[in-house]
Amino acid sequence: MEKARDDSVSQLAGGLGSFLRKGIFSILSVGPLPNHIAFIMDGNRRYAKKQNMAEGAGHKAGYLTLMKMLCYCCELGVKYLTVYAFSIDNFKRRPEEVHSLMDLMLEKIEELLKEGSIVNQYGVRIYFIGNLKLLNEPVRVAAEKAMAATANNTKVVLLICVAYTSYDEIVHAVQESCKVKRNEIEAPNASKVIRSVPGVEEDKEINEAIASNLQGSCENSSSKFGALNRTTACSGLIGVEEKNGAIVHAIQGSSEDEWDEVVSRTCNGVIEGDEESKKKQLVLPTIKVLDIEKHMYMSVAPEPDILIRTSGENRLSNFLLWQTANCPFYSPTALWPELGLWHLVWAVLNFQRSHHYFEKKKKQL
């Protein structure tokens, strides 16, 4: 009987809380609302110590706070929610702690996919962001399964940064951008391979002359090369062609006539000939900001509108350094498991107060 009464009180309190939230959120919606909120979930271990809880219990309490914030953001109308769950630097912690965190992560990923979970209730799509190959296989497989299972959800996007640092993300994006640009140059010119003049393919001296030219040799070539002997500065000729916005140099020719059409050649990387030929220097592809942003782990989401770090810390800790250049930063003293509705409301109010200023800055950029 007493238990039933307690349950009734809890349900009533829950109903009143839900009604209160809806009222607050409807008032907030009069002003601009953030589209993307990012959290650095700091203070789980300190919370466990503060509450005299067992090691690891703070992270479990932190998971409940994450679900609570996800629920609030869904009700408020926030489209993207990003959380910093596990840094690459966290792998430096004690092996026992890392192993415990991986087990907890595996358990909670499986919990997210249960039928009655908040993820399915609100139509949340999950992305795991970071260098996922650093995770152990069970966690990586579970993460991939969660992303595949929620791929058709469209209402809210939850981005969980694991095995992540901004340094790693930026390096990865630059490497991928260079790889794509290199492929754009090489693929259209795959047929333009180095080969000797037709009819004399077996002539070792010609092949050596072509090779020495590519190596920057400035030895005189034999007169028997015919069209190859435009001047005596170098032994071979380099064709110049524009492909995909870059000047591509390659040995050309499937007939002797084609060799006559080559417009320039190089010696130690410098093009010789008339002034027009000299302008056609070897131009490497330009890597632009948009190229890098396209290959970021976080390219699946817009830049955050608010960044919240709990526990009163004012450091970014290598989190979203690229994406938060024009993002208001809020750092309540509450530890992550202590974060509540009013902290979120206050962060949104601060966002609305400075919204005009940050929008102006973004337009200037």
pTM of whole model > 0.75?
no
pLDDT at 314 over 80: yes
pLDDT at position 186 is 72
Is pLDDT of 131 > 60? yes
Tens digit of each residue's pLDDT (9 = 90 or more) over 335-357 = 999 999 999 999 999 999 988 88
| pLDDT confidence tier of residue 129, bands split at 50, 70 and 90 | very high
308 three-state secondary structure: strand
Nearest of 308, 321, 243, 327 to residue 282 by alpha carbon = 243
| pLDDT of res. 89 | 95
pLDDT of residue 56: 85
Give CA separation, 121 vs 115, 117, 135, 156, 159, in Å: 8, 6, 28, 11, 17
Gap between the Cα atoms of 168 and 315, Å rounded: 18
CB atoms within 10 A of CB 280: 17
Strands (E), the chain: 36-40, 80-87, 124-129, 156-164, 239-243, 246-250, 265-267, 270-272, 306-309, 329-330
Could you give the count of Cα atoms lying within 13 Å of 40 in the half-sphere of its Cβ? 26
CATH top-level class of 29-175+289-364? alpha beta
pLDDT value of position 208: 53
pLDDT, residue 361, reads 74
Buried b (16+ CB within 10 A) or exposed e, 10-27: eeeeeeeeeeebeebbee
User: How far is Cα 227 from Cα 309, in angstroms, rounded to an integer?
Assistant: 69
DSSP 8-state symbol, 1: -
Per-residue pLDDT band for 5 (boundaries 50, 70, 90) equals low
Position 287 confidence tier, pLDDT thresholds 50, 70, 90: confident
Is the pLDDT assigned to residue 235 strictly greater than 90?
Answer: no
Residue range 33-53, pLDDT digits in tens: 999 999 999 999 999 999 999
- The region of weakest confidence among 104-113, 225-234, 279-288 is 225-234
Residue type, 46: R
**Residue type, position 213, single letter:** N
Cα angle value 115/297/338 (rounded, 5°)? 55
Torsion of CA 80, 37, 117, 134, to 10 degrees: 80
Residue type, position 39, single letter:
F
Helix (H, G, I), strand (E, B) or coil at 221: coil
Bigger pLDDT: 6 or 166? Answer: 166
What's the mean pLDDT when you consider all of the chain? 78
Q: Strand, helix or coil at 126?
A: strand
Segment 205-233, tens digit of pLDDT = 544 544 454 444 444 444 444 444 343 33
Cβ atoms < 10 Å from Cβ of 139 = 22
The CA-based angle 93-98-101, given to 5 degrees, is 135
Task: State yes or no: pLDDT of 272 exceeds 60.
Answer: no
| pLDDT score of 26 more than 50 | yes
Q: 201 is written with which tokens?
A: 């393919």
Task: Please give the pLDDT value at position 18.
Answer: 81
State residue 111's pLDDT score: 92
- Report the share of the chain in percent with pLDDT over 70: 69
Which is more confident, 78 or 13? 78
Helix axes 57-76, 341-364, angle to 10 degrees: 60
> What pLDDT, on the 0 to 100 scale, is given for residue 362?
72
In this prediction, residue 4 carries a pLDDT of: 54
Summarised one tens digit per residue, pLDDT across range 137-189 is: 999 999 999 999 999 999 999 999 999 999 999 999 999 999 988 887 776 55
3-class secondary-structure state, position 353: helix
| Residues 6+ away with beta carbon under 8 Å from 50 | 335
Residue 42 is a catalytic residue: yes
Q: What is the separation, in whole angstroms, between the first and last Cα of the chain? A: 64
Q: Which one of the listed residues 42, 203, 260, 274 is annotated catalytic?
A: 42
- Nearest Cα to 76, choosing from 178, 173, 189, 156? 156
Q: Does residue 303 have a pLDDT over 60?
A: yes
The boundaries of every CATH 3.40.1180.10 domain in the chain are 29-175+289-364
Query: From CA 306, how far away is CA 323, in angstroms rounded?
Result: 11
Which of 89-93, 132-136, 210-214 is the least confident region? 210-214
C-alpha span between 160 and 151 (Å, rounded): 15
